[in-house]
């Protein structure tokens, strides 16, 4: 069965790293070797080579300073007959209180495409930055047709340094 619009044609592949993981192995290849075994290891080492993935110095220091969880997603999409892969790095920080300005400023240094700030009753927050690491050339050709697509509802949207900031999504 085909759906119109965007369709995922395989399950997303992801791997997550904590601050302790990153401290024990300072390269992405070392992290992959430490966290995976078997076919998953082979697949992720192939991803690193194919998409030229790396843990950039700014990303490394930001994860350490914020205590962020770094998750890398590799996913295949089919959009209007065009197939391709997308790689996204997700930087997630949680904490108590309501002041997220310091987290927001540090994540903006990474030039993410989107930052989502969730503040729950001024008790705790989750701030997530999404940075696109790779988009297949087939998908780049048609990405302009999806510029104004709505995927998430926000109580407020701001734009800062070419990054969209979504406050308290529903």
> Given the structure tokens 């108590």, which residue do they identify?
96
Q: What is the 3-state secondary structure (H, E, C) of 45-69?
A: HHHHHHHCCCCCHHHHHHHHHHCCE
Confidence bin at 25 (pLDDT 50/70/90): confident
Report the alpha-carbon distance of residue 70 to residue 73 in Å, rounded.
10
Considering the entire predicted model, what is its pTM?
Answer: 0.84
pLDDT in tens, 6-23: 544 456 789 999 999 999
28 CB neighbour count, 10 Å cutoff: 23
User: Which of 8-17, 125-134, 152-161 is most confident?
Assistant: 125-134
Task: Give the per-residue pLDDT at 45.
Answer: 95
Report the alpha-carbon distance of residue 67 to residue 50 in Å, rounded.
29
Report the alpha-carbon distance of residue 65 to residue 55 in Å, rounded.
15
Q: Give, for 167, the enclosing helix (H) or strand (E).
A: strand 163-169
pLDDT in tens, 73-114: 998 777 777 788 889 999 999 999 888 999 999 999 999 999
């Amino acid at each position: 069965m085909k759906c119109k619009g965007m369709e995922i044609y395989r399950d997303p592949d992801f791997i997550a790293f904590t601050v302790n993981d990153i401290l024990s192995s300072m390269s992405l290849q070392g992290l992959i070797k430490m966290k995976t075994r078997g076919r998953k290891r082979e697949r992720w080492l192939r991803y690193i080579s194919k998409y030229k993935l790396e843990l950039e110095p700014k990303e490394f220091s930001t994860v350490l300073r914020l205590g962020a969880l770094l998750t890398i997603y590799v996913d295949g999409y089919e959009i209007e007959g065009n197939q391709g892969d997308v790689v996204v790095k997700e930087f997630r920080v949680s904490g108590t209180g309501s002041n997220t300005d310091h987290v927001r400023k540090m994540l903006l240094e990474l030039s993410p495409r989107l930052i989502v700030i969730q503040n729950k009753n001024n008790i705790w927050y989750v701030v997530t930055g999404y940075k696109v690491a790779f988009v297949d050339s087939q998908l780049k050709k048609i990405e302009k047709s999806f510029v104004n697509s709505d995927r998430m509802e926000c109580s407020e949207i701001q734009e800062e340094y070419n990054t969209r900031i979504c406050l308290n999504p529903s």
